[in-house]
């Protein structure tokens, strides 16, 4: 239970940091790097693969399913479900990988473009601490 709480905290802090950073006119802080640093501070072994979840939201189930098909073609697992607020649809992409900064920046760019092309939004990633 403690690990689940820590996972949720890391994901929430990472998401809140991303949202806060979007509204800033100052030099952009790297949200992916910030989450990686939070993982390290929590004791995660960053040399090991982590089960990483990526969150993409869309205004309809059809668009989320289309995104899921593209995500699967890119080598990720994907599932579609109604968003927590029941206003949009979540495409939850998952993949086990070492949380390397360069890889996560590349995935962010890929998922931001995919979401934008389908009228959705990429909302970051989360993972549990791996020791």
Tell me how many domains the chain contains: 1
Host domain of residue 110: 2-126
Q: Do 27 and 76 contact (CB within 8 A), yes or no?
A: no
Interatomic CA distance for residues 73 and 126, integer angstroms:
21
Residue 17 scores a pLDDT above 60: no
Sequence-distant (6+) residues with CB within 8 A of 97 are 49, 50, 52, 103
Distance CA 11, CA 5 (A): 10
pLDDT computed for residue 30 by the predictor? 87
- Find the DSSP H helices in 42-117: 61-73, 101-117
CB 68 within 8 A of CB 79: yes
**CATH number of the domain enclosing 87:** 3.30.70.970
Domain annotation covers residue 98: yes
What is the pLDDT averaged over residues 90-109?
A: 97
- In a domain, residue 99? The reply is yes
Percent of the chain with pLDDT over 90: 76
Q: Taking 90 as the threshold, does the pLDDT of residue 13 lie above it?
A: no
Asked if residue 131 belongs to a domain, the reply is no
What mean pLDDT value characterizes the chain?
Answer: 86
């Amino acid at each position: 239970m403690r690990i689940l709480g820590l996972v949720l905290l890391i994901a929430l802090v990472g998401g809140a940091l991303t949202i806060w950073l979007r509204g800033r006119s100052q030099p952009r802080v790297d949200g992916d790097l910030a989450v990686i640093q939070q993982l390290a501070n929590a004791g995660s072994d960053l040399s090991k693969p982590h089960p990483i979840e990526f969150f993409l939201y869309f205004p309809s189930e059809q668009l989320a399913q289309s995104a899921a098909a593209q995500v699967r073609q890119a080598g990720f697992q994907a599932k579609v479900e109604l968003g927590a607020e029941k206003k949009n649809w979540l495409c939850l992409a998952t993949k086990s990988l070492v949380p390397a900064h360069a890889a996560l920046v590349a995935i962010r760019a890929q998922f931001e473009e995919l979401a934008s092309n389908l009228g959705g939004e990429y909302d970051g990633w989360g993972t549990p601490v791996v020791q």
